[in-house]
Amino acid sequence: MKNRVVITGIGVVAPNGIGVVPFWQALIKGTNCVDTITFFDPAQHPAQVAAEIKNFDYKNYLSHEVARKMDRSSHFAIAAALEAVDDGAFKIKNENRDKIGVVLGSAAGGLGFYEKQMQVFWQGKGQGIDEQTLLATSSGTVSEEVSNLFGFSGPSIIISNGCTSANDAIGMSANFIRSGELDVVFTGGSDACITPGIVGAFCRLGALSTKRNHEPKKASRPFNIDRDGFVISEGSWVLILEKMEHALERGASIYAEVAGYGATCDAYHITKPLPSGEETARAIKMALKEGNVEPEKLSYINAHGTSTELNDKTETLAIKKALGKHAYSVSVSSMKSMIGHAIGAAGAGGVAVCALAIKNDFIPPTINYESPDPECDLDYVWNTGRKKIVEAALGNSIGFGSKNAAVVLTKYKG
């Protein structure tokens, strides 16, 4: 028998709130966090909007001396991990540190730190580059810093797999616990991609919304026919996954059970999804099968829902192929309509929302619905959230490189 895996703590650093309660309250209200970029002058870029975290102060979690050696993505990960410990009332004991691992997703890692240091270099100040540059810019540092903070001696792994990074990290973490190798894993994702270089690179790909710089609140509009690209975001979501017996022994409160995970590759194109949606559908089916969840039992899907022309209609098609007629009964929503796309961390946010939807029996909305797309014809919970009994929920991710990853959660019933 494989060990059962449950979620006992959720830590959040997001544009709409720091801490799981503010994050959830903002979501259910449909709070829109997209605005004009303030972190740098965006005038040189075609896309000038983002969902920034404007009230984050690393000094609430780290000393300046420690924090200055890290990228913002590591600041976020540490803060979210500490928030998760607090939320889950998790006590770290010396005797169990080797049975606790850290597996996080991050697409950019410390690229923001590197970008700033390269500005110093190109100004002819090579000797002025920070001595921490090589270490702080490594993607692996994001998980390493969390492991070091708590003294966890289990595996410390970073999954850098584009937009599916966090879902892949969560799937791997669950497997560590199911196999008995670990009792607890701190998992999720962290990314801080609102930098001149990263925004510029996405602009060159034509991936970002450029038509609504004058009305940023309307820029992220998943499943609308006039969508024109995603809105870049940042943040971290850290989930505490535990072996069920471990959680029960310490009297932990349980959000949901991690039932299944599926991952596939379209093997088609570096940026475009396979038009048929076949492999995205297969990842969903794999997650449902592993979780022993019949398609008609699925209550909610937190969609990848990026607001790009190809992604939204292909994801819709994939959901139909995976669920059949039930696709029209399942509730689907995209939190990216409110907080943008946090790249490698986004999937962790989606799984966190699934856990909260199960715990609270409530579906957050997809905001900015104004212009229906006949190819996107599912129940996207337009503009206003709703009460609904959520027995099973699925967090879906689709990434550059033709990657797909889905995680299924179910209501914990002992």
Catalytic residues: 163, 304, 341
Helix axes 346-360, 20-29, angle to 10 degrees: 80
Whether 347 contacts 165, CB under 8 Å? yes
Task: Give which of 120, 108, 118 is closest to 74, Cα–Cα.
Answer: 108
Overall residue count recorded for the chain in this entry:
414
Q: CA separation (Å) from 407 to 110, 169, 321, 372? A: 26, 10, 17, 28
Helix axes 165-178, 346-360, angle to 10 degrees: 60
Structure tokens at 61: 């979690």
Q: Is 310 exposed, middle or buried (0-12, 13-18, 19+ CB in 10 A)?
A: middle
CA 42 to chain centre: 25
Structure tokens at 9: 């703590």
Q: Is 32 exposed, middle or buried (0-12, 13-18, 19+ CB in 10 A)?
A: buried
